[in-house]
Each structure stands twice: as C-alpha cells, then as structure tokens.
Amino acid sequence: MSSAYKLEISVESVDAAVAAERGGADRIELCSNLKVGGTTPERELLRAVRERVRVPIFSMVRPRGGDFFFSEAEFAAMEQDIDAAKDAGMDGVVLGLLTNDGRIDIAKTKQLVELARPLPVTFHRAFDASSGDLRGALEDVIETGATRLLTSGGKRTAPEALELLGELVRIAGKRLIVMPGSGLHAGNIREAVVKTGAREFHAGLSSVASSVAGHIGAFEEEVRRMAGALRDCD
C-alpha cells in the first residue's frame, strides 16, 4: 500500500541502491563520494543502477566536494553531467550553486533547470551553506524553477532545526517541495513528520553503514524500519 510520505535514500553503489529499494525506499539519490556530501557518479554507475532498480533515481550533479561556487569549466561539466543523466535514464537530478558571496545563484541554476527539463531538479544542501536568511534563500530557490529543496534547516542535522524546517514547509506551500534531510532515521522520523509537516524525507543512514562496516543487510533493514515508520504516520 502506498504511503502519503516519500522516503529518498542516498547511495553510492549498485548493492546499496538495490538494498534501499528492497527496504522500501521510494526514490534513490545516486552519488559518488558521499563522505564529502556527494559528487557526480560515473556514467557506468548510472547505467548499472538503472538496470537493477525500478524506483525513481535522481543523479547528483556536483563536480567536486567543497564549496558550491563553481568555475565556468565546472559549470560546463555540470551541463554535460545533466545530459549524461538523461542518457542513462535518470528520473531527476540534484544540484546546487552559490554565488561567490554565498547567495543562491539564481541565474546559473535556472540554466541548469532548463537544461534538465523534463527531469525535475532538487536543489541540495548548498542551501544550508548560503549566506543570509534562509527564508529569503527559499524564495531564491523557488525562483530558479527547482521542484524540491533538500535541507537540514541550516543546521548540521535536520532534527536540530525541526521548527525552522516546518516554517520553510509552510512558506513554500505548493510552490516547492521542502524535503528535510541529514540525521534522520527510524527513531526520529515520526517527530520530524509531526513537527515539520513535510511529506518527503531524505536519509543517507551513514551512521548505520559505518557502524557495521557498510554491511548491506543492516543498511536494508534500517531503510525498512524507516519506511515502516513513515507508513505508520499515514
């Protein structure tokens, strides 16, 4: 039975993507280098995961770790990566750009959003690194034409910012999907649902993976527990 809530899980391998789907993930965010927040996966990985997974897959489009102010060459690489995501059958892309003074780069993000069409774009946690008030930054993200925003509310983890996340959800309304992410797991997802009013949630479950040396079975079980907790919120 379908839930009113959606769970997105970030992964960096075929095995983890398959495990996330088996565990009940509604969508996969496919990355490389999750230890630096995720970078663009290789084309071979995009194709391999697409062959094995039926749920929607969103590809990270980020040429490197570090800040979110990209050179012209890096921006050109992002354009190529969007084309590669389309060619590999991805269902969406995940990206984020800031200006050199830390503001949402509306103009360049708009260019990538247009290039990505008809695929939806998630603006990622570059938002949390932006300067100024996050409420204003939210309006900037909406102006880019992105479909959703992945955010921890400006804090290291989403559970530290549930009140602000709820405010961002309410401000965005139907204009943008605000998707809390970072630090969420089966033990705290119900509180996040109640306090934010969000309908989509993101998790990497890195603490689970690292605590068992990346054991896929434990990862799958934690995804299953998290998906079950969301279903219980219906």
69 belongs to a structural domain: yes
pLDDT, position 151: 98
68 belongs to a structural domain: yes
Question: Number of folded domains in the chain?
Answer: 1
Helix, strand, coil percentages, rounded to 5, for the chain: 45, 15, 35
pLDDT, position 213: 46
67 belongs to a structural domain: yes
**CATH code assigned at 78:** 3.20.20.380
209 belongs to a structural domain: yes
pLDDT, position 210: 43
1 belongs to a structural domain: no
Q: How many Å apart are CA 133 and CA 75, to the nearest integer? A: 26
Q: Is the dihedral of CA 57, 62, 63, 65 positive or negative?
A: negative
pLDDT, position 207: 55
Helix (H, G, I), strand (E, B) or coil at 215: coil
For 137-175, give one letter per residue: b (16+ CB within 10 A) or e. bbebbbebbbebbbbbbbbeebbebbebbbbbbeebeee
pLDDT, position 115: 98
pLDDT, mean of each 10-residue run, the chain (234 residues): 86 95 97 93 97 98 96 98 98 98 97 98 97 96 98 97 98 98 95 98 74 71 96 90
pLDDT, position 208: 54
14 belongs to a structural domain: yes
pTM equals 0.94
160 belongs to a structural domain: yes
Identify the domain containing residue 110 by its residue range: 6-231
Q: What is the dihedral of CA 134, 138, 140, 144, to 10 degrees?
A: 140
pLDDT, position 138: 98
CA 110 to the chain's CA centroid: 18
221 belongs to a structural domain: yes
